[in-house]
Amino acid sequence: MARPSRIPRQIVDLMVRGGRHVWTLEQIAEDLAAAGQGADFSSVWRGVERLLGEGRLTRVGLDDGAARYELAEAHHDHVRCLRCHAVAAIPCLLGPGVVAAMEARTGYLIQTHSVVLDGLCPACRGGAAA
Ligand SMILES: [Zn+2]
Ligand SMILES: [Zn+2]
């Protein structure tokens, strides 16, 4: 039986190995199982909550109901496939000049943002053209 204390490290290792850019809880459980590290769903959830609390993971809000998680790293924005829900990282689209200009325009102090570009990933785009 997998010891619960191993799970956070296994989750981080999984994300460092890559294969995806963001993971849902279900995908974390699937990928751990595929690596022979299967764990029950509530243990995966607790592992993710612990890593969030430690600041090692961040929650990616994509506004479609499914919470996704990624390794905490320097700010970047995302591109998403509307058909298969693949997500990839892109460099930040709003330079400091844009943020300052929007602060001047709105009077808001802007502290954070996330930009998501929606479309079709290369695989789905190929399928659409066929
Ligand atoms: Zn990301
Ligand atoms: Zn950005």
Q: How far is the CA of 2 from the centre of ligand 1 (A)?
A: 29
Ligand whose nearest atom lies closest to the CA of 113: 2
Residue 112 CA to ligand 1 center (angstroms) comes to 14
Q: Nearest bound ligand to CA 78?
A: 1
* Cα dihedral 98/104/110/114 (nearest 10): -30
- Distance from residue 90's CA to the centre of ligand 2 (Å): 9
**Residue 4: per-residue pLDDT:** 54
**Any idea which ligand is nearest the CA of 18?**
1
Contact predicate 48/25, CB 8 Å: yes
Beta strand 77-81 with 68-71: parallel, antiparallel or unpaired?
unpaired
Per-chain residues with Cβ under 5 A from ion ligand 2: 77, 92, 94
pLDDT for position 128 = 59
Residue ranges in 57-117 assigned as alpha helix (H): 96-106
Q: What is the sign of the dihedral through the CA atoms of 18, 92, 86 and 50?
A: positive
User: Could you state, in chain order, the average pLDDT of each consecutive group of 10 residues for the chain (130 residues)?
Assistant: 76 94 95 91 95 96 85 94 94 91 97 93 80
Question: What is the structure's pLDDT at 55?
Answer: 96
Burial of residue 77 (CB within 10 Å: 0-12, 13-18, 19+) is middle
Q: What pLDDT does residue 74 have?
A: 92
Enter the DSSP assignment of 54: T
43 alpha carbon – ligand 1 mean position (Å): 24
Q: How far is the CA of 12 from the centre of ligand 2 (A)?
A: 23
